[in-house]
Amino acid sequence: MKAMILAAGRGERMRPLTDDTPKALLRIGGQTLIEHHIHTLVQAGFHELVINHAHLGEQIVAALGDGNAYGVEIRYSPETPPALETGGGIFNALPLLGDDPFLVLNADIWTDFPLAELPDRIEGLAHLVLVDNPEHHPHGDFSLSAGRVSQHGPAMLTFSGIGVYSPGLFEDCTPGAFPLAPVLRQAMDDGRVSGEHYQGSWFDIGTPERLEAVNRVVINMQ
């Protein structure tokens, strides 16, 4: 299974840190966010990666190259700023991802989720990893019941930014910028999104304050 790392975001809430550095190259525990993901993916058996980029994307390409230094093959999906949003970015990269289900993860998270345990075959169109709601997102995104994800339910959880998608999820989409959430919600209404609840370490790194806080946590874990 191939994997895609979403690294095209402008990182507005991370300014001024992202004025001169793409968010994916900010550091946690001595390595960049995107390097953490690459090392985790390699350990999980992933060796073919796709990375999209827009804002200061040339820095990401310069830092990672073809991936040989990490034991992977990296192919890039460049986007002319402004970026294509999550849905549009994945859709734009579909020619690089192939016909089988693929893993997508956000560059701006830090987690110890065991990626090797994700299903490489899914019954529906998507399989999402959900986590407990963080303080900054108390109402969550989706509900999980009996392995199925829905828009609403008694116990809402937060989407982790980790998912396995079938190319068929995007069959009705057209090129351009669009968010992923409406596409997922339609698939949920059709009963075609599975999921799981992860209760290990997971952090959304959306602000300089959260970056600093996660750095303290990760350093203490090392």
CATH number, domain containing residue 199: 3.90.550.10
pLDDT at residue number 214: 84
What is the C-alpha to C-alpha distance for residues 122 and 100, in angstroms, rounded to an integer? Answer: 10
Total-model pTM? 0.94
How far does the chain reach from its first CA to its final CA, in angstroms? 30
CA angle in degrees (0–180, nearest 5) for 202-99-193: 45
What is the C-alpha to C-alpha distance for residues 154 and 75, in angstroms, rounded to an integer? Answer: 41
| pLDDT classification of 221: cutoffs 50, 70, 90 | low
Mean pLDDT over residues 10-19, rounded?
Answer: 81
pLDDT at residue number 16: 85
Neighbours of 6 (CB within 10 A): 25
pLDDT at residue number 219: 63
Has residue 124 got a pLDDT over 80?
A: yes
How many structural domains is the chain composed of?
1
pLDDT at residue number 222: 52
| pLDDT classification of 40: cutoffs 50, 70, 90 | very high
Residues 6 or more apart from 140 whose CB is under 8 A from it?
Answer: 133, 156, 157, 158
What is the C-alpha to C-alpha distance for residues 164 and 121, in angstroms, rounded to an integer? Answer: 9
Provide the domain limits for residue 155: 3-221
- Is-cis flag, bond preceding 22, omega within 30? no
Question: Among 40-44, 53-57, 125-129, which stretch is predicted with the lowest mean pLDDT?
Answer: 53-57
* pLDDT tens figures, 177-204: 999 999 999 999 999 999 999 999 899 9
DSSP H or E run through 162: strand 156-165
Question: Among 17-21, 24-28, 71-75, 98-102, which stretch is predicted with the lowest mean pLDDT?
Answer: 17-21
Tokens of 130: 């959900």
